[in-house]
Amino acid sequence: MGKVQFLFGIHNHQPVGNFDHVFKKAFNLSYKPFVSVLEQHPLIRTTLHFSGPLLEWMESEETEFFEKIGELAEKKQVEIMSGGFYEPIFSVLREQDVLGQIGMMNDFIRQKFRTTPRGAWIAERVWDPVLPRLICDAGLSYTLLDSTHFLKTGVLPENIRGYYVTEREGKTLAIFPIDVNLRYTIPFEPPEKTTEYLCGFADNTEQDIAVTYGDDGEKFGMWPGTFSWVYEKGWLEAFFKELEKNRDKISMVTFSEYLDSHSSEGLIYLPTLSYEEMMEWALPAEAVMRYEDMLENLTDLQIKDKYSSFISGGYWNNFFVKYPESNNMHKKMLMVSEKFEEWQNSRKGAQDNGLVNSARKELYMGQCNCSYWHGLFGGIYINYLRHAIYEHLINAEKIIDSSSNGDDAWIDYKIVDFKKDRSEDILISGKNLNAFFSPGDGGGLFELDFKPCSFNVLNTMARKMEGYHRKLILENTEPDSPGDSRQPVSIHNMLKVKAEGLQDQLACDWYRRYSFIDHFLGEGTTPEAFFMSRYSEIGNFVNTPYLLENIEKDSSDPKVSFTLKKDGMVLQDDRKMPLSIEKRFSVDDSLMEIQAVYSVKNRGEKDICLWFGVEFNFTLLDSDDSLRYYCFPEHNREKLLINSKRVFSDISFFEINDDRDGFGMKFELTPESDVWMFPLETVSQSEEGLEMTYQGSTLLMHWKISIQQGKQQSRSIKLTFNKFQEENGKNIMEI
């Protein structure tokens, strides 16, 4: 009879931008109690991975615990695993950033815990065949991946054990396959079930066999119902005692120890994959539903287990297709990375490396993976996590720009394929503003950074269909309460709806929620119909290409001006009427303003009456914060929360103020306009279930206009930023 070498790995992570109280909650519910129980069982060996954001928080806020991890590492009870410091998805980074992130983590572990790491945790186990070379070049020798990766190559389930070796360009990497059964039984099934499963390996082999577990530490206390089950009812204590009781059959070693004492199971080459659920989430919503139906059909035919290893879902990078907002963040990150590399190379020989290190750290923080995708939890739907990505990328830009341009006012522009879809975008950058326009997508503004506050005010999210939305028509299944005597349910099997009537709030936007989007509304359009994206659009200007006619930079002022034009049509009386829009943008960095002057020309042979509107989307993050509000001076300086739904008439100017972050925006409308406003909210899934989530606010400034044949009408919108100063603890507008 052989012996089972049980390799027990735990991955702990909190994303960049998460609230301090979430870090504290996770620490108190998961990380601290887990290590407290572990300390009492010195025979239990484990490998721990903490992501960089969590390590930095613990070092600052929980010094005693931080030092305890180092002590356990010195005692060899714990092995500490490396990885990308700020938990990026390696496959979507430039190679030097992969090496830099891993190098940053290696240095941290050596300096703080006095040990040299040998393994790399790969965020979300997103595998790319180039990674063996990069991880090997970073000085590491092993990683963990799901059994799914191995099954897709044809490896039999009974051979998912030990470790395999792969290579790229001759650089080798050991890969330990994570046992999928253990991922679903730990900690959700009684401890005896797991030890019986492990002992079963020993009973059926004459040789030693290694079985790997590797999964999220938040499952031990942070996931719904698990704190009561794992700690109050003693699951973890009982599990460790079971392992100790069965140590004649189960031996616990760290990954490095096993690597040094055992040969591999052989050579393997793995396809580009992640774990099974992630590959499903990466599919478009309609494909998710077909994928789920297929798996259900295979189950009904009792052939799922036989053939599922040959079925794959999507590819992680296609989250950039599924969510254009994610693509914008990613391409911004790549742009800043390239800008950083060019700037760093220009500083060769400079004495002060502090600026370089600061800019690099900000860039790496902007690569944290959680905001770029969505699965069971909020991810990209959590606006403050998206905000953190932009905030750190803008911070990196500011360091580079300040070093390159000094404190003088400046502005520049470039026309590039920013979104990497073979369309040209206009990127205007200055000391105070970044303004990115997409001529090919309605001539809209898709990023607007107020750099003094490192705030992208266009960090919104369009409403889109998700595969789980069809669950809203199913009976709501509540998870077991913490006081329930049964074990908790894995979140993969939960369905919870936080509020009634969510199905009535489902809306799907048919265009991207950019700004300066041009509408021609059909007669009878109501604010509610427009809000739900269920109205009649009689023009073809919203999301179709505009032509860039000219662009120029002012020779005396930090100002860039350009003109976008489109010849289109509107539908009136079942006839297509030719119409053109010319919008002249001026971005003045010194005045911190953007002005759009519209000319709407009737190219037809008869007079027309139109309902013309310009849409502007923005976010100030917190929808019901009293320090973030609209102000309408023409209506008794009425202040409204930014989640307000209102209709105003004859408005010539209004303000949007963020007293918390210290800036405001003033809109001036010429001539005066009617204004509709409403919050942009998605029905999305979080740890607590399906819920309404604030993504931004929408403004529609609109006019009824009559245009004679061959004539045109003009409208103007000017947006000016104001930076508030601190005086006696209060924000005041800077004059």
pLDDT recorded at residue 489 = 56
Catalytic residue, candidates 62, 79, 87, 124:
124
Q: What percent of the chain has pLDDT over 70?
A: 95
109/111 Cα distance (integer angstroms): 6
Mean local confidence (pLDDT), 129-155? 96
Q: What separation, in Å, do the N-terminal and C-terminal C-alpha atoms of the chain show?
A: 82
* 622 Cβ contact list (under 8 Å, min separation 6): 628, 660, 694
Phi first, then psi: give them for residue 128, nearest 5 degrees.
-135, 135
Residue 348, pLDDT > 90, answer no
Residue 453, pLDDT > 90, answer yes
Residue 728, pLDDT > 90, answer no
Has 408 been annotated as catalytic?
Answer: no
DSSP state of 231: I
H-state helical runs in 141-248? 147-151, 180-185, 191-203, 226-227, 235-245
Residue with tokens 């290893």: 309
Which three-class secondary structure state does DSSP give residue 148? helix
Q: Per residue in 426-447, pLDDT tens? A: 999 999 999 999 999 999 999 9
Q: Per residue in 214-232, pLDDT tens? A: 999 999 999 989 999 999 9
Name the band, by pLDDT with cuts 50, 70 and 90, for residue 475: very low
Predicted TM-score of the model (pTM): 0.94
Q: Are 186 and 194 in contact (CB under 8 A)?
A: yes
Mean local confidence (pLDDT), 91-116? 98
H-state helical runs in 62-94? 63-74
Maximum separation of any 2 CA atoms in the chain, in Å: 94
Mean local confidence (pLDDT), 555-567? 96
- The amino acid present at 641, given as its one-letter code, is L
565/580 Cα distance (integer angstroms): 7
Beta-bridge mates of residue 584: 563, 597
- The amino acid present at 342, given as its one-letter code, is E
pLDDT recorded at residue 491 = 54
How many CA atoms are closer than 13 Å to the CA of 246, on its beta-carbon side? Answer: 25
Mean local confidence (pLDDT), 132-157? 96
Q: Per residue in 265-302, pLDDT tens? A: 999 999 999 999 999 999 999 999 999 999 999 999 99
Which three-class secondary structure state does DSSP give residue 138? coil
Name the band, by pLDDT with cuts 50, 70 and 90, for residue 472: confident
45/7 Cα distance (integer angstroms): 8
The CA-based dihedral angle spanning residues 97, 101, 103, 106, taken in that order and rounded to the nearest 10 degrees: -170
pLDDT recorded at residue 397 = 98
pLDDT recorded at residue 659 = 96
- Spell out where 417-532 has E strands: 425-430, 433-438, 444-450, 455-456, 517-520
Minimum mean pLDDT among 78-82, 186-190, 466-470, 617-621: which range?
466-470
Name the band, by pLDDT with cuts 50, 70 and 90, for residue 735: very low
Has 124 been annotated as catalytic?
Answer: yes
Higher pLDDT, 497 or 594: 594
- Give buried/exposed letters for 563-579 (b at 16+ CB in 10 A, else e): bbbbebbbebeeeebeb
Hey, CA dihedral for 274, 277, 282, 284, is it positive or negative? positive
262/210 Cα distance (integer angstroms): 10
pLDDT recorded at residue 485 = 47
* 351 Cβ contact list (under 8 Å, min separation 6): none
Return the structure tokens found at 400. Answer: 């580079």
Mean local confidence (pLDDT), 665-671? 98
**Is 308 exposed, middle or buried (CB count within 10 Å of its CB: 0-12, 13-18, 19+)?**
middle
Mean local confidence (pLDDT), 506-510? 94
Name the band, by pLDDT with cuts 50, 70 and 90, for residue 546: very high
Ramachandran region of residue 221, left (φ > 0), alpha (ψ -120 to 50) or beta? left
pLDDT recorded at residue 327 = 98
315/293 Cα distance (integer angstroms): 19
Mean pLDDT, all residues of the chain: 93
Residue 210, pLDDT > 90, answer yes
Minimum mean pLDDT among 134-138, 195-199, 334-338, 729-733: which range?
729-733
- Spell out where 108-163 has E strands: 119-121, 142-146
Catalytic residue, candidates 67, 137, 216, 292:
216
pLDDT recorded at residue 352 = 67
Nearest Cα residue to 101 out of 53, 165, 31: 53
Count of beta carbons in the 10 Å neighbourhood of residue 130: 16
Mean local confidence (pLDDT), 154-164? 93
How many CA atoms are closer than 13 Å to the CA of 131, on its beta-carbon side? Answer: 34
DSSP labels, 363-419:
HHHTT-GGGG--SSS-GGG-HHHHHHHHHHHHHHHHHHHHHHHTTS--EEEEEE-TT
Q: Are 465 and 409 in contact (CB under 8 A)?
A: no
pLDDT recorded at residue 487 = 60
697/629 Cα distance (integer angstroms): 11
pLDDT recorded at residue 495 = 57
318/659 Cα distance (integer angstroms): 38
pLDDT recorded at residue 213 = 97
pLDDT recorded at residue 332 = 98
